[in-house]
Chain A
Amino acid sequence: MFEQVSAARPVNYRPLPAAGPIVTLLLAILVIAASHVAAEPVRVGHVEADLVSEVRSIQPGQPFWVGLEINLDEHWHVYWRNPGDAGLPPKLTWDLPEGFVVEPIQWPYPKKFVVPPLTSFGYSDKVLFPVRITPPVDLAEGEPVTLRTHAEWLVCAEACIPGETDLSLTLPVSQSAPEFDSQRADQFNGVREKLPVEATEWKFGAAVDDTLIQISIRPPEWFTDSLRGVYFFPHDKAIIHNAAEQSLEVTGSGYGLAVPRFKNATGDPERMTGVLYAESGWRGPGSEKAITIDIPVGEGGPIAAAVTDEAAGGIWKAILFAFLGGIILNLMPCVLPVLSLKILGFVNKAGESRKSAVSHGLVFTLGVLLSFWALAGALLILRAGGEQLGWGFQLQSPVFLVILSSFIFLFGLSLLGVFEIGTSLTAVGGKTQSSTGWGGSFLNGVTATVVATPCTAPFMGSALGFSLAQPAWVAMTIFTALGLGMAAPYVVLSASPKLLKFLPKPGRWMETFKQIMGFLLLATVVWLAWVLGIQAGVNALAVLLMALLLIGIGGWIFGRWGTIAMPMPKRGVAYVLSALLLIGGVAFGLAGVSLYGAAPTQASSSSSREGITWEPYTPERYEEALASGEPVFIDFTAAWCLSCQVNERVAFSSAQVRDTFAKKGIVALKADWTSRDDTITRALARYGRNSVPLYVLYDGSNGHEPVVLPEIITPGIVMEALANLEG
């Protein structure tokens, strides 16, 4: 019953004897041979304590991790930084060689120990408290370094026993990068998973009244799981009533956590600082369970209310923006060549009856809508299956590019008069002209959509991001609005005879116009071929061109001998030959692409004519740059995204922008989404997006929200954003 407070037991150091330089040298060699010498674990009462290192040697100037390892007897525990209702956190007092800098203990998230009516926070069984140490840059090689610390802790079961001991660790110094002790590295990585992380995508608010702290939690748009088992561990004592239940409820905009306050609190805290634990993980099952929060305490409940309003308006706003975005989509660079098809279609129909014109407009709309539904449906189904995909995903696939460019190439050849589909088929079938055009109008709608989607129009980025995080019916509604928006100008045009009057009468000029459009389509093929080249390399590009050649020959045979002017046997042979060449060409293209379609090699960094030095985006580089406090600009782009290409030519080639990037020391990261890349898809999700372009600027100060630039940028817009940066 009576617990003896155990006395401190000093550790035996392994001092280098002063017997003479030779002995010292020999010992030093021994020490190096043994890689590193840790003090044996020290047993004090119910605790076994040890100072351990993740590395086997120290590199001058290179930070490394050591840790206080504590093994506890059953039923005994040590404490977290805020011990809760009882206890004391462990403490380390360092005695390090000159120039070494040691950081405070990193605290893994704790467990709750409940002995009603008291609750404390700590660890049982086994725990490692990691500490980062930075050695001086001018540390001399050869002489091993001994790190000494005095560890104090309180260990409790029912009774509490303070303990303390001296611990030391000797490591050799080497200029080479430190070698990791694999077993220790596993142990350190294990504990890193339990260290709370920053979660910038989540939004928090806090309010207090006499008895409760209300923490409002708003998940990012990509978070579709549900949050469970949430508990707030404040960094300080006297903030919460440790033993009381904290209740989580679902609100309009996310969650609300009600935390009973420390009962004798005098005055209100200004900030809520601590660790927010979620059993369910903050990025879905199996992900990080603990995040740090440091939020100002607001007045009463307006935070929660404000957040709710915003979400409620979200759907209607998204639908409106989707519709507007659809209209503007018609003006995007990647749609312009296809736009020509539509203009041509209208010129063709101009002479016909109004009823027929309206029908064509509606069929075109149907083509657009069905394509949007098909694309969005495929995307939703694939995402539900766990694929990391975003809008425009079809252009990330070389196979799709081959098929699409073959299709557009054929279309272009047809417009250039190499062969004619419409007339020959009409003549054969003997159908009336107006009914044959319907298939064409429908196909126009499909083509326009397929080519247009990758160009995220202004407004559309956030609408798409929003929609894909919503239930399926909401997503489909938004895509319907997008399709209707895109088709709207044509429906209006075809339904209004007054407007149709402004279109020129059909005539000889149409042939010329058609041919010009044919060349525009060939330009589209050039663009698609370039995208494929970036994705799959120059061999795949050559294969595609070869395939197009075969298809071209097929089209030529069809046009030359497949017309009704030719006698039947010849015509039959021409049909068979051209079909063979067409199918063979596409098959050859597909086979070649899957053969040569190696993973694209990415340049380590690229600079646009001595301008901005772009580094490829990696999550590590991103974290590092943010942590360093430098301003960071991220360019989310893709070769197939023409808006992105235009933006880059216009905005980033400006001398003024380039100079400012250099002068302000902005870290420029390029996230190239040309090929499928799950890390970039996830990075986009961080900003509630799943489409490119996206431009994000961090001003470098900690905890600041990034600035998201518009989808269409000019040097002026970029300069304005940069002007707000310090320095």
Chain B
Amino acid sequence: MKKTLLSLFSIVALIGLVGCSGEADSGATSENSSKADETSATAVSAKVDETAPDFTLTDATGTAHSLSDFKGKYVVLEWINFDCPFVKKHYVEGNMQRLQNKYIDEGAVWLSICSSAPGKQGYFEGEELTSRMEAEEWMGTAYLNDPTGKVGKLYGATNTPHMFVIGPNGELLYAGAIDDTPSTKASDIPTSTNYVVATIDAAMKGDPIETKATAAYGCSVKY
């Protein structure tokens, strides 16, 4: 039936020589609707090979620490959330504490920064924080709270753990994952390559740093 109509149509069109009014729709118009999320692009200013931006945060006892206080030393920044399984992976069998001890012994500074907003997972203060640090046998230089998330966003910290290594001249040497095995299992650690170790060891020896940036893995930072 359809075919019959169709051909009748074309015959009529032909024999009657009906003028035609082509009404196929014209050109493709498109609107941009890839509406993405709030790009809270607080213009990330921490970039590898550039000077790490300065900041001042207070520790559990209320003492203020600034990055500029540690000029001339290697500084490791560790974004932390004790309740994140990826952070636990590195604390449960003492891996992170071992690194903290080792590099502080070698003259470096280890700052653990918690950017969890108050009330969100991983945020502790005062008494609760000190007892938790003790329980986790945390061994760093200072545990700093960043309740507004200002420093976390300044460095573009997305995950816990998220690691940054800063050289004695203030240059950001490394930013990214702690190692090359995204998992929550402590049993994966012995077979992984630790990027923080690789960076500091190479830099201290004066060797070129092979991997300067990776994508961090872990929990999201609870801004």
Contacts and interface: CB of A to CB of B under 8 A. Distances in A.
A263 B172 CA distance: 14
Interface in A247-282: 247-250, 255, 257, 262-266, 279
A472 B28 CA distance: 13
B30 interface: yes
A381 B33 contact: no
Contacts of A110: none
Nearest to B176: A264
Contacts of A373: 19-20
Interface string B31-64: 1111111111110100110000000000000000
Contacts of B32: 247-249
Of the four ranges (under 10, 10 to 19, 20 to 34, 35 or more), the interface on chain A belongs to 35 or more
A245 B34 contact: yes
Residues of B contacting A: mostly: loop
A22 B120 CA distance: 60
B48 A380 contact: no
Contact of A676 (B3, B83, B88): B3
A5 B219 contact: no
Interface residues of B, number: 66
A154 B159 CA distance: 14
Nearest to A86: B220
Contact of B29 (A115, A226, A245, A475): A226
Contact of A397 (B6, B86, B183): B6
A264 B8 contact: no
Given A88-B184, A374-B14, A374-B20, A116 B7 contact: no
A472 B184 contact: no
Secondary structure of the A contact surface, majority rule = mixed
A684 B24 CA distance: 19
Give the interface centre of B32, B121, B159 by most chain A CB atoms within 10 Å: B32
Given A377-B13, A382-B6, A237 B30 contact: no
A264 B17 CA distance: 67
A160 B84 contact: yes
Interface stretch (B95-103, B197-205, B207-215): B207-215
A237 B215 contact: yes
Given A378-B9, A380-B23, A117 B29 contact: no
A86 B218 contact: yes
Contact of B10 (A87, A229, A394): A394
B159 A116 contact: no
Contacts of A319: none
Nearest to A2: B83
Contact of A377 (B21, B33, B182, B218): B21
A399 interface: yes
B217 interface: yes
B80 interface: no
Nearest to A232: B34
A473 B47 CA distance: 54
A375 B22 CA distance: 11
Contacts of A9: none
Given A86-B159, A118-B158, A158-B222, A371 B39 contact: no
3 closest A-B pairs by beta carbon, nearest first, are A377-B20, A472-B22, A397-B7
28 contacts: A1-B121, A88-B182, A116-B223, A117-B38, A117-B39, A117-B40, A117-B223, A118-B158, A120-B220, A159-B84, A224-B28, A227-B28, A228-B30, A231-B34, A244-B39, A248-B33, A266-B48, A373-B19, A378-B20, A382-B6, A393-B10, A398-B3, A399-B3, A471-B26, A472-B22, A473-B26, A476-B22, A597-B3
